[in-house]
Structure 1
Amino acid sequence: MKIDIEKRDFFKEPLSEGELKKIIKMTGKKPSELLRKKDKMFKELDLENGKKTDSQIIKLMAKYPGLILRPIVIAGNKAFVGKIDSKNFK
């Protein structure tokens, strides 16, 4: 199978809030579900309390890309974030 892959280091080329919103919508999940809970900024920003709005979380994800689960794989009109299971692509 031939697949075109585009890689992007979002530490060097950060995702914009607009890109994050689009990716989040493609996952069908809430922004808080796409956070790396073991990232030091997660604790420093007190994200575990669940009091931030979706918009606030997206702004923080854009500012601190280490908060974003990875990898992000976009296939067609779906996005998969974090651990990827091959059954998602059938």
Structure 2
Amino acid sequence: MNVKIYHNPRCSKSREVLKLLQAQGIQAEIIEYLKTPPSIEELTDIIQKLGIKPRGLMRTNEPEYKENILDDVDLSDADLITAMHKMPRLIERPIVVANGKAAIGRPAENVLAIL
């Protein structure tokens, strides 16, 4: 099984999901998304797999969200995805992709549904 985790090692929730995967015997491909941001295409694919709108994947409490006026309802989905690509701190974490599906690991047990 091919499993990816978009991971931030400084985030306790992200570390918790990684431990959960390892406890399941899963060797996930770890993508430190702050160092290697997902492409616009990858973000679009993740959002589709999650079945949400782009704003649902955004950390709205990050300073970048407010500084860049990303709460503007007139911004398109493409605008929001581009913002997450350029400012990956805006991306909610952790995200696990497996079996053609995706899950946000908040709570960590959410990822079990796609394994």
TM-score, normalised via structure 1 length: 0.88
Distance in 1, matches of 2:34 and 2:111, equals 26
More RCO (CA 8 Å, sep 6+)? 2
Q: Is the 8 A contact 1:42 1:48 kept in 2?
A: yes
Judged with a 3 Å threshold, the aligned counterparts in structure 2 of structure 1 residues 80 and 12 are, in CA distance, closer, same or farther, namely same
1:68-83 correspondence runs (5 A): 68-83=91-106
* RMSD of equivalent CA atoms: 1.6
TM-score, normalised via structure 2 length: 0.71
Q: Deviations over 1:7-29 (max 9, x none)?
A: 11111111100110111111000
Report the CA distance between 1:2 and its aligned residue.
Answer: 2.0
| Residue in structure 2 matched with residue 4 of structure 1 by the alignment | 27
Three-state SS of the structure 2 residue aligned to 1:47 is coil
Report the CA distance between 1:88 and its aligned residue.
Answer: 5.2
Distance in 2, matches of 1:87 and 1:58, equals 23
1:51 aligns with 2:74: yes
| Residue in structure 2 matched with residue 60 of structure 1 by the alignment | 83
Q: Deviations over 1:22-61 (max 9, x none)?
A: 1111100000111001110000111223221001101111
Q: Is the 8 A contact 1:69 1:82 kept in 2?
A: no
Higher strand share: 2
1:15 aligns with 2:38: yes
Structure 1 residue ranges (4+ consecutive) displaced by more than 4 angstroms after TM superposition: none
Gaps of 5+ in 2: 1-23
Gaps of 5+ in 1: none
